[in-house]
Amino acid sequence: MPNLRFALILLSCTASPVVAGDLNLKLVDAAGRPVSDAVVSVRPAGGIPAGPIRFPWPTTMIQQNVAFVPHVLIVPVGATVRFPNKDKVRHHVYSFSRPAKFEIKLFGQDETRSYTFKTPGAVAVGCNIHDQMTGFIKVVETPFAAKSDAAGTARITGMATGTAQVTIWHPLLRAKDNELVVNVPIPGSGAVSKTVPLTLRAAR
Amino acid sequence: MKGALALTGLWQRWVWRLQSTLTLRMTLFYGALFVGVSILALYGTRMAIETYAEKSIRREMAVGSALFDRIAAMQVSQMAQAGNVLASDFGFREAVGTSDAPTIISALESLQGRFDLQHALFVGVDGTVVGHVPGMSVGEKNQLFDALDMGRERGVAHWGGENYMVAASPVRAPILTGWVIFARTMGPADLRQIARLSSIDLHPRILPQTGSDIGAGTVKEVARNGERILMQARSVPTLVESAPQILVLEYSLTRALRDYAPILWALLGFGALGAVLAIAGTFVASRRLARPIVALEAAARKVSAGQHAEVAVETRDEIGQLARSFNRMVNAVEERERQIAHMAFHDSLTGLPNRTLLREQIALALSRHGGANFALFCLDLDNFKSVNDTLGHPTGDALLCEVATRLGETCPQGFVARLGGDEFAVILPDGSGSADQTGRALVKALAQPFDVNGHRIVTGTSIGIVFAPQDGRDATELLKNADLALHRAKDDGKGSHRFFESAMDAEAQARRAMEIDLHDALRKGELELYFQPLFGLSQNRVTAFEALLRWNHPEHGMVSPVQFIPLAEETGLIVPIGEWALHEACRIAATWSDDIRIAVNISPVQFRSSTLNSIVLQALARSGLAPNRLELEITESLFIDNVEATLGSLHSLRALGVRIALDDFGTGYSSLSYLRSFPFDKLKIDRSFIIDLLEHDGATAIIRAITTLADALGIETTAEGVESSEQLEILRAEGCNQIQGYFFSRPIPAGQVAALLEKLSGDRLAA
């Protein structure tokens, strides 16, 4: 993993010789509690550098204990996500989301299928057998993306200096397409910290 | 004004009548009491019914609204169930996920038919609404979305002027993509259907909270069209929070109470009937109660008018006891009246009729038709006073009773009365024997000795008799004349009877006139003192004069002392006259030579007066006469009663230095014992003995006895009434000291005293 990150940084340095800055976001709800599982994606000033996008986490969404793990998965456009079944029961994974409509029926135990996401956007994944199972796959076009942790923080590094367009997505965010866009000036070096309050829907 | 006055008068008369009859008062009181109680009972019942009815309605309303809740919840959950079925259908979810509107609509319609639902909609999370409800506006659609977005899923909604019961089911594919909405109308008809399940028609309505005049969760009473209506409002779950709806139930309290009206009417009827019965009952009862009281009142009125009255005792209760007590009281009062009347008309000692009754009896007899002839006897006991004094009053009283009995026995046909003291009277009707015989019989009967308390008492009576109607026109005159006759009888010697003569009346009147004249005589100087000499036989000269009163009446001339002295004694005039005589005698005597004394008569009345001593002293002091020249002559009668007092008075007079002579010695109740008790200076032998000297041989012996006795006791003797020389010689021979009488001189005025002394000393009679 450190190797991978290092490679990424190296890559960006070679692509753009300008100095780069970091972004530290803290996401809280209306009551000030940290919001986890929010996806932060950034379009830095000067646009997204060309080249393939790689994230340091696997593009896999496991069905384990009648739940999707991880609950929220960030993948780049064109990535193929594997859906391994680690439960003894069967699952019928489906999505009616516009970026990716698919249906993967009746997996057996330890059976793995995959689906390739070609359109960016948020894809809600469910199981037709177990209604309570939901998971989200966020298909992004930028390498600058991260998921907030349990403390509600997300850290994105090595972005070009200038005003960056930061998009925050959360499945319960009360906004069009569950997205909120903010502009954040990224410094030449060092990190900018920002706390963003989010208005969330009640979980249903 | 006049009308008001008349009304006031009417009212006052009514109040007076009310206060005057017990029956009316009791009837009114108990009638009013019963009516009051009935009204209270009626009022209480009405209150209870009202409370009960209101409570019932409230309970029914609570039940009704609970029913509404249950039914609404049931319908909603039924719709929700249907919605959930659809929302979880994979095909439907796919249609929703792919925004396949025609499929959605067809699916909605399919389920609508299957569950008999009235309306179905689909609302996407982006606000799109699929499906149709008639009259639903865009605003209402937006409101619906907002409510769903806020998480509301069930409740009442108001769309296009209609109320709907709404249930929403979220559709997840797998995230929330929209809601399936099922709705059914909740209009008046539907509500009425629910209301029909309740026992009374609560007229349920669903109204928006805003603009309605009753708050949710409250109950209030309103008046509408003259009816009292109980309204209850409670909030119902609404889909749109900003437009809360309430369920209003109402019921007419007036109508509820109308059902109980028969009970109240029945109660009123029975109350009125009861009041009539109570008034009638009280009237009858109080009349029965008042009747004996009225009878008592009438009887009391009769009694106070002096009539006899008794009331019938009918019961044993308090009123019966009152009647009994009343009768007892009437009898007691009458008995006492009889006693008082008896006391008023009878003598308490003898039980004989008294003077009042006697006078009435006389008046009655005189007033009889034609005037009755009857004789009236007035009796007076002789010497009764001495019986009382010597034997005591109890014996005197007992004697009077005996006398009364004896009078009754002697005159069985007469009317016997006691006039007071020892005076009695008898009325004897004409034709019951001659009055003279009766008079004799009475005198004789009372002359018989009486045995009283172990004493043998001899008394007697004097009687005056008058005849009616000739001796007097009325009781007063008859009694007065009878009294005159009685006095005449007494004067003529006791123990006899006398008939009234008209001369007695004239005499009495003359006596009365003289009494009046005598009263003025002293003041007018009509009285005069005459002096009769007392000749001392051993001294052979005049040694004293006796002063004698003379009355020179301006019309009748000289009045004899025999006539006016008793009158003066009777009237008490003797006291001032005696005082004047003492002063006058002393004054005149003081002009004489020192060896001549003056003798003055002292009447018993004068003697008993407490002032005699001081009068004597004054007379001596004023005249300057030596006390031993004054000689007071008293009579034996002083010793009849109260000897002790008489002796005391004599001693105190003697202490003044005056001489005391005993006058008329030998005629009265002579007792030699008092000669021993008091050392008299002189005895004056009564003239009756002197007159007898020449006619009776024994008279000389009596004179001798007296002079010898007096000599032995050292007392002088004076003979009165000497008229001849023969008498003088005998008296001289028997040792008499002094001579007084016409033989020497009749009484002479003061002016002739000197001449008399001259003459007597001139032809001094040497024997």
What are B10-65's pLDDT values in tens digits? 888 877 776 667 788 888 888 888 889 989 988 998 899 888 888 888 888 888 88
In A56-190, DSSP assigns E strands to 62-63, 68-69, 72-76, 80-84, 93-95, 102-104, 112-116, 121-127, 134-140, 145-147, 153-160, 162-169, 179-186
* Predicted complex: ipTM over 0.90: no
Q: Which residue has the higher pLDDT, B654 or B219?
A: B654
Judged by DSSP in three states, B747 sits in coil
Asked if residue A11 has pLDDT above 60, the reply is no
Is-contact B684 B720, C-beta < 8 A? yes
* Rounded Cα–Cα distance for residues B253 and B256 (Å): 5
Q: List Cβ<8 Å contacts ≥24 apart for B719-726.
A: B719/B684, B719/B685, B719/B689, B719/B690, B720/B664, B720/B684, B720/B685, B720/B686, B720/B687, B720/B690, B721/B686, B721/B687, B721/B688, B721/B690, B721/B691, B722/B690, B724/B694, B726/B693, B726/B694
Lowest mean pLDDT among B104-113, B265-274, B459-468, B681-690: B104-113
Asked if residue A169 has pLDDT above 90, the reply is yes
Q: In 3D, which of B698, B640, B641 has the Cα closest to residue B670? A: B640
pLDDT digits (tens, 9 = 90+) for B147-159: 888 888 888 888 8
From B139's Cα to the closest Cα of chain A, the distance in A is 21
pLDDT of A13 reads 42
Q: pLDDT-derived band of residue B764, with 50, 70 and 90 as boundaries? A: low
Instruction: Using an 8 Å CB-CB cutoff, list chain A residues near B177.
Output: 96
Please provide the average confidence, as pLDDT, over all residues in chain A. Answer: 86
Torsion of CA B722, B723, B727, B729, to 10 degrees: 90
pLDDT of B584 reads 94
Asked if residue B164 has pLDDT above 50, the reply is yes
Asked if residue B323 has pLDDT above 80, the reply is yes
Q: Do A96 and B94 touch (CB under 8 A)?
A: yes
pLDDT of A6 reads 44
pLDDT of A21 reads 87
Those residues whose C-beta lies under 8 Å from the C-beta of residue B657, and which sit 6 or more positions away, are B626, B627, B628
Please provide the average confidence, as pLDDT, over all residues in chain B. Answer: 86
Asked if residue A26 has pLDDT above 90, the reply is yes
Asked if residue A17 has pLDDT above 50, the reply is no
Using the Cβ of B173 and the Cβ atoms of chain A, whether some distance falls under 8 Å is answered with yes
Q: Which chain A residue has its CA at the smallest distance from B98's CA?
A: A96
Q: What percent of chain B has pLDDT over 90?
A: 25
pLDDT of A4 reads 44
Judged by DSSP in three states, B277 sits in helix
Tokens for B673, please give them. 């014992």
Q: Which chain B residue has its CA at the smallest distance from A177's CA?
A: B126
Q: Which residue has the higher pLDDT, B554 or B371?
A: B554
From B149's Cα to the closest Cα of chain A, the distance in A is 8
Name which of A63, A96, A199 to mutate to probe chain B: the one with the most chain B Cβ atoms within 10 A of its Cβ.
A96
Q: Do B175 and A134 touch (CB under 8 A)?
A: yes
Q: Which residue has the higher pLDDT, A136 or B664?
A: A136
pLDDT of A70 reads 93
pLDDT of B657 reads 92
* Rounded Cα–Cα distance for residues B106 and B88 (Å): 16
CB contact residues (below 8 A), chain B span 92-111, against chain A: 93-94, 96-98
Measure CB to CB from residue A124 to each of B98, B149, B174 and give the nearest one. B174
Those residues whose C-beta lies under 8 Å from the C-beta of residue A138, and which sit 6 or more positions away, are A39, A41, A72, A73, A74, A75, A121, A122, A123, A145, A169
Lowest mean pLDDT among B279-288, B363-372, B532-541, B573-582: B363-372
Q: What is the mean pLDDT of residues A176-190?
A: 89
Q: Do B97 and A101 touch (CB under 8 A)?
A: yes
Measure CB to CB from residue A131 to each of B96, B97, B172 and give the nearest one. B172
Q: Do A204 and B151 touch (CB under 8 A)?
A: yes
Using the Cβ of A203 and the Cβ atoms of chain B, whether some distance falls under 8 Å is answered with no
* Rounded Cα–Cα distance for residues B235 and B245 (Å): 6
Q: pLDDT-derived band of residue B670, with 50, 70 and 90 as boundaries? A: low
pLDDT digits (tens, 9 = 90+) for B659-669: 999 988 877 66
pLDDT of A116 reads 94
Using the Cβ of B151 and the Cβ atoms of chain A, whether some distance falls under 8 Å is answered with yes
**Three-state SS sequence of B581-642:** HHHHHHHHHCCCCCCCEEEEECCHHHHHCCCHHHHHHHHHHHHCCCHHHEEEEEEHHHHCCC
Plot region of A175 (φ>0 → left; ψ -120 to 50 → alpha; else → beta): beta
**Three-state SS sequence of B431-456:** CCCCHHHHHHHHHHHHHCCEEECCEE
Asked if residue B165 has pLDDT above 80, the reply is yes
The sign one gets for the Cα dihedral B22, B24, B29, B34 is positive
pLDDT of B762 reads 63
Instruction: Using an 8 Å CB-CB cutoff, list chain B residues near A201.
Output: 149
Q: What percent of chain B has pLDDT over 70?
A: 97
Asked if residue B432 has pLDDT above 90, the reply is no
pLDDT of B126 reads 82
pLDDT of B1 reads 59
Within 13 A of B178's CA, how many CA atoms are on the CB side?
Answer: 24
CB contact residues (below 8 A), chain A span 134-173, against chain B: 134, 136, 171
pLDDT of A8 reads 45
Using the Cβ of A3 and the Cβ atoms of chain B, whether some distance falls under 8 Å is answered with no
pLDDT of B370 reads 63
- How many C-beta atoms lie closer than 10 Å to residue B462's C-beta? 25
Exposed / middle / buried, residue B306 (Cβ in 10 Å: 0-12, 13-18, 19+): exposed
Q: Which residue has the higher pLDDT, A147 or B255?
A: A147
